[in-house]
A and B are shown apart, each in its own frame.
Chain A
Amino acid sequence: MGDLLGFVLSGLVSGALYALLATGLVLSYSASGLFNFAHGATAYLCALGYYELHSGFGWPAVPAALLLVVVVAPATGWALDRAMFRKLAKAGETAQIVATIGLLVALPAAGLWAVELLRDAGVSVQPAENQFGLPGVGPSPARSWQLMDGVGVDSDQLITWITTAVVALGLWVLLRHTTLGLRLRAAVDNRSLTELRGISADRLSSIAWMLSSALAGLAGVLATPLLGLSAHDYTLFLFVSATAAVLGRFASVPLAFAGGLALGVLQNLAAGYASFADRITGFRTAVPFFLLFAGLLLMARRQRAAGTAAADVTTPDYLAGASWARRWGPWAAAAALLALAFYTVTTPFWSGLLTQGLAISLVFVSFTLVTGLGAMVSLAQATFVTGAALVAGLLMSHGWPFVAAAAVGTCVAAVLGALVALPALRLGGRSLALATLALAFLADQVLFQLGRLRNGDAGWSVPRPVLGPVDLADDRAMGVALIVLLSAVVAALSALRGSATGRAILAVRSAPAAAMASGISVVRTKLVLFALSAGLAGFGGVMYASYNTRITATDFTALTGLVWLAVVVAAGLRRPQFAVVAGLVFAIVPHLFQTYVTDSAHLPVILFGLAGLALANDPDGYCAAVSVRLRRRRAEGAARIERTTADLPSPTPRRPLAAAPATSRPPALELRGVHAGYDGASVLHGVDLTVRPGEILALLGPNGAGKSTVCRVAAGILQPAHGTVLTHGRDGTREGPVRRSRDGVLLAPEGRGIFPALTIEENLTLYLPGRTARGQVYERFPQLAARRGVLAGSLSGGEQQMLALAPLLQRPPKVLIADEPSLGLAPRVVDEVFAVLTELRAAGTALLLVEEKAAEVLGLADTVAYLSSGRVSWCGPRAEVETDRLTEAYLGIAAPAGTGPGGRTDVDVDGEVAGRDR
């Protein structure tokens, strides 16, 4: 019993640290959708800072700790958010994962570099190398108390507990009982809706990152006595605490917190009672990663299961359709030149370095397959490399020839890949990334500890192959052979992309359900993809081992795989040859740096890490950035020309504007000649709309006419490519949704404009901070009053819509843009909704009402506008609406026969349309 209590108590110490880290992870994840792999690095930085301040400069413990936790850490979080996370929130998930992995490497190196620079500048800093028994905030050495036999606590543990408890309480108060907390939770729930409510999600994201960094900093300072100054250990600690974040489904702070505490205890119990597993070397070491893996499988059930498709949009291939010579010519020439260089200009050293780069390229190319093509982040590639090379080495030590051993090694890697793929069948995105990472650690700590497989620390000798007359013992011959192999692999992968299998992979990546419906087996496709990629990585591993002539189990660790991914993605995943560039850069750049730039080992590491930063701007990597940017510039140039030619004939007034009843009142919202679209696909081609106070403008049109796009432009979510948006007569074209909303322009978006994870009361509070105003809403809608503590997500559709609209009656906005408010509601509820809208009009609100239910709306609207194919084809008072015209508008045949439904190219025709309309 004493044992058990002891295990629980001291388990709570690491548990408290896990809880702090996990809470920070959840906060930052909720704020920007980013799983911050660099969270542990932030903790490390603060530990380092604390050590320098406390032990180096002799600051007293508490002020030093406070400065770091309250000032330095939040400032770091804020700066990173501004420089990076904010932009990344809009990039694909792979770019996000990779960018923070880059930081994971760069931040500690930056800290060490700073210490190095300070020392060179003559400041009396302590050397930043790892040390043990560093003082924490409490007395050093820690005082200890023996509670009972076998159960003791020391002052460091006590401080950790108390601080964590205080922080937990503080967080609870902040999140549950302050406006800021409410807004943070709202932003977590529905970021874009928060913006529509005039609350800057960017600012909230900054605050969340500051909080998150502060928590990491606190964990770092508290963990100093336990972990010392090892960035590596902090990162490992973070991965373990990710389990707790997983338990909280990356969304619930309390669950993550509790999960962290439980994790610490569980881990301790497992270590204490795991004597059954004594014969499995590495089992106790691996306990945290077993827990992480199990947690992911059990808890991530509700996650999107398909890769990371929705976030990772493939960019158009600008070279598609280009001639073969243009697509491949430069690469083929580069390969030939490199091969030639081996035998002409390069020194033995450079031949070796280039060959090393080429060998690692073979491994890197495997990322283009699983992550580039399949959009699944695998952090286990290093495992495949080690596995294949160890098996090949083992076989060769038994006299197998190179080719056979390499083939078996490759197959073993492929089998490992298929095993790792099993979680991929149900996980996606960061959960999958974490699961593969957990498996990679498990392989390191259990599988590769098998004495027979690893052969101790000596590993296996993997001699260079001799194929007939070709003896690859010569670096140059090896280099050329690798060029040939790489060319074949690159060609094969490019062919695969264009093949039926490639199309199946793309289908599974972007729409698994649809893929299944078309007879593609998602399971098979994913397994094949992982197995192929793992096999390729394994083959690359055998070749790399043979370049090295030896493989040991510790040559490529799980963390190596992380760095590799960052290096490859920074170069780009779109085409396999980019991975070759990455491999060469990876081998050569550190050497160049050391020779020509600086002796510091830290600067190249920082730069490699920061390459991830560049992803925020060029998610396709630096290889593609050149062509993409050129292309974009050209496209922009072309668009500008197109636009100017389109504008040359001054746009003719096309609407019978006189029809509006009250021209005396200035318009509350006005769209003038708005062109807008998404990523080059233009949707609106010159929309003019005017909404006046106390008037309902109904915007009708068929599916795909661009109604929702009009709403998005009007609300400021989408910037028009061209044209102006006036609010109360003021040009606000370039303003975002927050500013628009603060100007009184509110969008009730399609679907329900509520925060499902907040209660009714909280939903109302966001718009109506005053208690009396909320009381009036409850008086008016007793059905809401009765359930004020209920989560809004559990309400019926009608109730949700009423919840979204009800508070507006208390404080009517100047402009309300309602995007299909009646969608999916019962007729009785629709009447209720329309009654509210009418009431708002009476209160002076200008309403832009988008509807497909034309008939009902006609009874409500003052002015009606038809939108078809991105243009307002008719606009006038309700009285002039003719049924025929309505039908025409719906069928999209309002334009004259000559232009057809998509007629949008020529402004003369447009003028003609306007003329006819008149």
Chain B
Amino acid sequence: MSRPIRFLAAAAASLLLATACNSASTSASPQDKAGASARGVTADSITVGGIVSKTSSSGYSKADTDLGAKARFQRANDEGGVNGRKIDYLGAEDDGQDPSRNLAAARKLVQQDKVFSVVPMSSVTFSGADFLQQQKVPVFGWGTLPAFCGPATTYGFNGCLVPSPGGTITQSWPESLAQALGGAKDRSVALIAADSDAGKFGIRTYTQGFTAAGFKVTYAKASVPAAAAPSDWSAYTGEILKSNGGKAPNAVVSVMQTPQNIGLFTALKRAGFHGALSDPTDYDPGLLAKATTAQALDGVYVLVQFEPFESTSPAIAQFLKDVRKVGGADVRPNLHMMTGYLSADLFLAIAKKTGRDLTTATFQKAADSFSDTGSPAGERSFPKGHTQGFGCGSLVRLKGGTYEVAVPFKCYPAIPFT
């Protein structure tokens, strides 16, 4: 065995030596000339591409994000492009919610497809974040992941939505729910989340948020099994309905996913709860198509982080026009379309501000002092958006099979997160 080991040692030494010489001479990435890159930018086009979980083992799909982005870019091109450049949108890579595929997709977009920017990025995992940040690639997506908080080149279309201690908490949900209930004074609320670290974190932030808005929080637990929705909710409903000094609270707020919400709300209603129900995830017109979900969600206040489709504002009318042009007249707008659309919209807005001289550096510079109003995402502003959400939202309520705007879209001041 000594011979192979000697051979290996020799090979290893020589290889490492070669690596050392080579990496010493090429340690700076080739595309980094003076920190600025115009990769993907030609005289008349800007290449962009997205990463979206179109498929996943859980069966959950965000495929329509792609359509939303396409619709927004299409309009931009129809209007003559950005500063004379058309957007060459390559479509979105499917990462299958798999971290390794997410990273591979990020690398492919930058190294092979040579995109200027990754728009939209929408997945539950973002392991390509560090790579994209290193390569100074501007990324636009939904800021629900920590990677959208902090890095200067990563932009959430409505800011960073993962508060960190010492930062701030957005108040759109507590404040708008307070409005819906006619004020938070003397109102009690029960908060429930999944039994996981993320659930615990959600309970912590929203307890503070709802308390700050004037609610009395009577129940706040991350106790629902996270892996699969329970078939029986009596254990949770029983506790919640007695939490307000033996009585039911005025509102139950769920920080969980749709299947859990449906189970919980159905159980609460069957147990005779007549107060307000609210959650942040169930704004999906697809849910109305099914009797079970429509019934479970009837009367529920759903937080929407952008202007709801039911709104009559010109921005929404434009959105509907854009997606119908690309997706067909009978396309049903949904959350994912909007996230894709708004990601593309933010990119276009910053690119426009950058002007004709478009490199990652000039883009970054333009972004650092960017702010505007009037988009369906509310009052956008960077660098604020790197550390906090824009704090805008509305509540819609499902009534008789359609969503109605219960509290119109508005931006609220944030509170410090302790």
A residues at B contact (CB < 8 Å): 3, 6-7, 10-11, 13-14, 108, 112, 127-135, 140-142, 144, 146, 150-152, 225-233, 236-237, 264, 268, 271-273, 278, 281-285, 287, 324, 328, 332, 335-336, 339, 343, 347-349, 352-353, 356, 360, 441, 445, 449-451, 454, 456-459, 461, 468-474, 476-477, 480-481, 483-484, 487-488, 491, 494-495, 498, 548-550, 552-556, 559, 587, 590-591, 601-602
Contact = CB atoms under 8 A, between A and B. Distances in A.
Contact of A271 (B145, B222, B225, B262): B225
Given A128-B59, A487-B12, A281 B195 contact: yes
Contacts of B127: 548, 550, 552, 555
Given A129-B61, A498-B1, A339 B232 contact: no
Contacts of B4: 324, 328, 491, 494
Interface centre among B20, B232, B262 (most CB of A within 10 A): B232
Contacts, number: 260
Interface string B221-265: 111111111111011001000000000000000000011001000
B212 interface: no
Interface of B: 1, 3-5, 7-8, 11-12, 15-16, 18-20, 22-24, 26-27, 30, 54-61, 63, 94, 96, 99-101, 103-104, 107-108, 111-112, 124-125, 127, 129-131, 134, 145-147, 162, 194-201, 221-232, 234-235, 238, 258-259, 262, 270-271, 286-287, 290-296
B19 to A, nearest CB: 4
What are the nearest 7 A-B pairs in CB distance? A130-B59, A133-B293, A133-B292, A458-B146, A10-B232, A272-B235, A349-B111
A6 B228 contact: no
Given A491-B4, A601-B94, A470 B20 contact: yes
A556 B100 CA distance: 9
A574 B204 CA distance: 51
A7 B234 contact: yes
Contact of B58 (A144, A233, A283): A233
A360 B12 contact: no
A132 B228 CA distance: 12
A136 to B, nearest CB: 9
B195 A484 contact: no
Contact of B229 (A127, A226, A232, A283): A226
Contacts of A360: 100
Contact of B16 (A10, A343, A480): A480
Given A135-B291, A268-B232, A550-B130, A324 B227 contact: no
A150 B271 contact: yes
Nearest to B95: A601
Given A7-B234, A348-B111, A550-B127, A602 B5 contact: no
Contacts of A552: 99, 125, 127
Given A271-B232, A473-B23, A552-B127, 8 more contacts: A10-B232, A150-B238, A226-B229, A332-B11, A480-B15, A491-B5, A549-B134, A554-B124
Contacts of B112: 347, 349
10 contacts: A10-B234, A132-B292, A133-B292, A227-B228, A230-B59, A230-B60, A349-B108, A356-B104, A451-B201, A472-B23
A474 B32 CA distance: 13
Contacts of B231: 10-11, 13-14, 226, 264, 268
Contact of A284 (B30, B125, B223): B223
A445 B125 CA distance: 17
Contacts of B20: 468-470, 477
Contacts of B238: 3, 150
A609 to B, nearest CB: 12
Interface centre among B234, B262, B270 (most CB of A within 10 A): B234
Nearest to B109: A349
B200 A474 contact: no
A477 B11 contact: no
Given A150-B238, A491-B4, A491-B5, A130 B61 contact: yes
Contacts of B195: 281-285
A133 B296 contact: yes
Contacts of A487: 8, 11-12
Nearest to A130: B59
